[in-house]
Amino acid sequence: MTDRPAVEKIRCDACPVMCYIADGKAGACDRYANHGGNLVRLDPLTVIESAEEKGVRAVPFLLDGDGSDWDGDLLQGSRPFVTAIGAGTTYPDYKPAPFIVSQEVEGVDMVTVVTEGIFSYCGVKIKIDTDRHLGHERAVVRVDGEPIGHVMTSEYGSKMLSLGGVEHLTGGTKKEGRVTCDTLLRLCNREAVEVTIDDGATVVIQAGKPPIVNGVEEKLMRVGCGSAAIGMFAAQWSGHVDEVIVVDDHITGQLSEHQAGKLLDVPPTGIRINGRRSTPGRYFQVAEPGTGWGGTDIEDPLTILRDANPKIAWPGLSLFMVSTTGEQSAYFELDEDLKPVAKPMPDVLRASAERIAENCEPSLCSVLFMGGAGGSLRAGVTENPVRLTRSVKDSLTYVSCGGAESYVWPGGGITVMADVMDMPSNAFGYVPTPALVAPIEFTMRLEDYRTLGGHMEEVKPVSTVIPSDVRKVGQIDPRSNPNDARNYRWKSGK
At residue 231, the pLDDT reads 94
Reply yes or no on whether the pLDDT at 485 is more than 70: no
Picking from 362, 395, 418, the residue at the C-terminal end of a domain is 362
Q: Say how many domains are in the chain.
A: 2
* Residues ≥6 apart with Cβ < 8 Å to 324: 131, 222, 223, 224, 225, 226, 229, 246, 247, 248, 294, 295, 356
Reply yes or no on whether the pLDDT at 70 is more than 70: no
| Mean pLDDT computed over every residue of the chain | 85
Q: Please report whether residue 127 resides in a domain.
A: no
How would residue 6 be classed by pLDDT, with cut points 50, 70 and 90?
A: low
At residue 94, the pLDDT reads 66
Reply yes or no on whether the pLDDT at 37 is more than 90: no
Angle at 94 between CA 433 and CA 398, to 5 degrees: 85
At residue 68, the pLDDT reads 36
At residue 397, the pLDDT reads 93
Handedness of CA 336, 337, 338, 339 (dihedral sign): negative
Give the whole-angstrom CA distance, residue 436 versus residue 193: 16
Q: How far is CA 403 from the centre of its chain?
A: 16
Reply yes or no on whether the pLDDT at 20 is more than 50: yes
How would residue 30 be classed by pLDDT, with cut points 50, 70 and 90?
A: confident
Provide the residue range defining the domain that includes 288.
226-362
Phi, psi angles (nearest 5°) of residue 482: -55, -30
* Residues ≥6 apart with Cβ < 8 Å to 273: 245, 252, 254, 283, 286, 304, 305, 306
* Count of Cβ atoms closer than 10 Å to residue 464 Cβ: 9
Closest among 79, 88, 95 to 463, alpha carbons compared: 79
- One-letter identity of residue 423: M
Percent of the chain topping pLDDT 90? 62
Largest CA distance in the chain: 105
At residue 91, the pLDDT reads 67
Reply yes or no on whether the pLDDT at 254 is more than 50: yes
**What is the tens place of the pLDDT at every residue in 373-413?**
887 788 889 888 899 999 999 999 999 999 899 999 999 99
DSSP-derived letter for residue 346 is P
At residue 16, the pLDDT reads 66
How would residue 50 be classed by pLDDT, with cut points 50, 70 and 90?
A: low
At residue 72, the pLDDT reads 41
Instruction: Report the range of poorest mean pLDDT among 20-29, 114-123, 289-298.
Output: 20-29
Reply yes or no on whether the pLDDT at 486 is more than 50: no
Reply yes or no on whether the pLDDT at 491 is more than 60: no
Q: How far is CA 65 from CA 56, 58, 72, 493, in A?
A: 11, 14, 15, 29
Q: Please report whether residue 263 resides in a domain.
A: yes
Q: Please report whether residue 387 resides in a domain.
A: no
Q: Please report whether residue 244 resides in a domain.
A: yes
Q: Please report whether residue 266 resides in a domain.
A: yes
Q: Please report whether residue 435 resides in a domain.
A: no
Element (H or E) spanning 10, and its range? strand 9-11
Closest among 41, 44, 63, 42 to 54, alpha carbons compared: 63
CA atoms within 13 A on the CB side of 323: 26
Phi, psi angles (nearest 5°) of residue 492: -165, 180
At residue 34, the pLDDT reads 86
Q: Please report whether residue 397 resides in a domain.
A: no
Mean of the pLDDT values across residues 358-376?
A: 92
Rounded to 10°, the helix 226-237/347-358 angle is: 140
Q: Write down how long the chain is.
A: 494
β-pair type (429-431, 435-445): antiparallel
Q: Please report whether residue 16 resides in a domain.
A: yes
Whether 180 contacts 146, CB under 8 Å:
yes
At residue 303, the pLDDT reads 96
How would residue 150 be classed by pLDDT, with cut points 50, 70 and 90?
A: very high
Percent of the chain topping pLDDT 70? 86
